[in-house]
Amino acid sequence: MKKTAQLTEKEIDRIIEMAWEDRTSFDVIEAQFHLPEKEVIRLMRREMKPSSFRMWRARVQDRATKHDILNDKVSRFKCSRQRSITGNKISKR
């Protein structure tokens, strides 16, 4: 498990971006960054303004798309123009 103190600024920005996305589950964040849900919440609390954190927390609380276990009915969408992403690194242009 990677500690939040060992994350680069770029990784922290990407985790925050993924946490804000409705269709990205906490399990995906954990698979890419080895950061469990509790650590993501702790990171969000530390990096965001209190009002923004409360708004995000209310938004993701019990949201089916944020938890793969509750996510059976949600199918993923991938745009045909989306570049392939491997290991969270965008392929060179």
Q: What is the pLDDT of residues 4-19, one digit of tens each?
A: 668 899 999 999 999 9
The residue ranges of every structural domain in the chain are 8-71
Query: Residue 15: its pLDDT value, please?
Result: 92
Q: Three-class SS of residue 30?
A: helix
Q: Are 1 and 32 in contact (CB under 8 A)?
A: no
Separation between Cα atoms, residue 90 and residue 22, nearest integer Å: 21
Give the pair of three-digit tokens for residue 63. Answer: 């949201």
Q: Does the pLDDT of residue 21 top 80, yes or no? A: yes
Query: Residue 25: its pLDDT value, please?
Result: 86
Query: Residue 1: its pLDDT value, please?
Result: 54
Nearest to 61 by CA among 4, 22, 28, 32: 22
The whole-model pTM stands at 0.66
Query: Residue 62: its pLDDT value, please?
Result: 73
